[in-house]
């Protein structure tokens, strides 16, 4: 379903398991921090809302979205959480750099999911302009960070079964 037809923050809270006994890692890009700070805020609010303890949430800031992959590996090695949320924002520019960063990051996070026994949640906004990113980090289309946190809780619960 296209994002324009769905608010990223809309979900049924009754269908989300308790995160009380779960631990989470959040790796967030500093690039486009006017967007990624709000993604992080949405993720943290959702995790806490569903019972996660602050002491069970580790946050790692990395320079850019491409570094989410290495940051997620470091998070796994250092903290061994039940799920890792990767948050970033890449906004199309005038060069093909956008395509390389988006493709590489997407493939890297997919590879982490295939290689490890915990879920790595893909929270990379890939937008054509700043307004599209702002719409998806707490604006009119909700917050992708919230959606990622809910996904992390659900996938961690499935993995624990």
Exactly one of 61, 79, 97, 116 is catalytic; which is it? 97
Q: Helices 144-160 and 33-49 sit at what angle, rounded to 10 degrees?
A: 40
97 is catalytic: yes
pLDDT of residue 118: 98
Domain range list for the chain: 27-160
Write down the pTM of the prediction.
Answer: 0.94
pLDDT of residue 72: 98
Mean pLDDT score of the chain: 94
Encode pLDDT of 88-146 as tens digits.
999 998 888 889 999 999 999 999 999 999 999 999 999 999 999 999 999 999 999 99
Strand partners, 122: 86
Helices (H) and strands (E) in the chain, counts: 5, 6
Euclidean distance between CA atoms 38 and 46, whole angstroms? 12
Are 110 and 90 contacting, i.e. CB atoms less than 8 angstroms apart? no
Structure tokens at 22: 């779960």
Are 84 and 120 contacting, i.e. CB atoms less than 8 angstroms apart? yes
pLDDT of residue 1: 44
Q: What is the 3-state secondary structure (H, E, C) of 19-52?
A: CCCCCEEEEEECCCHHHHHHHHHHHHHHHHHCCC
pLDDT of residue 12: 87
- Give me the CATH code for the 27-160 domain, please: 3.40.50.960
What confidence category does residue 7 fall into, taking pLDDT thresholds of 50, 70 and 90? confident
């Amino acid at each position: 379903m296209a994002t324009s037809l769905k608010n990223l923050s809309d979900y049924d809270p009754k269908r989300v398991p308790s995160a009380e006994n779960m631990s989470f890692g959040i790796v967030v890009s500093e690039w486009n921090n006017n967007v990624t700070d709000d993604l992080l805020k949405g993720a943290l609010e959702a995790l806490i809302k569903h019972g996660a303890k602050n002491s069970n949430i580790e946050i790692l800031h990395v320079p850019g979205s491409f570094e989410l992959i290495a940051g997620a590996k470091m998070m796994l090695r250092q903290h061994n959480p039940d799920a890792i949320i990767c948050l970033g924002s890449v906004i199309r520019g005038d060069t093909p750099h956008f395509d390389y960063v988006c493709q590489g990051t997407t493939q890297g996070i997919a590879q982490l999911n295939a290689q490890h026994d915990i879920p790595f949640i893909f929270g990379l906004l890939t937008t054509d302009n700043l307004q599209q990113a702002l719409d998806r980090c707490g604006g009119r289309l909700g917050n992708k960070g919230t959606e990622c946190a809910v996904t992390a809780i659900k996938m961690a619960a499935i993995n624990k079964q």
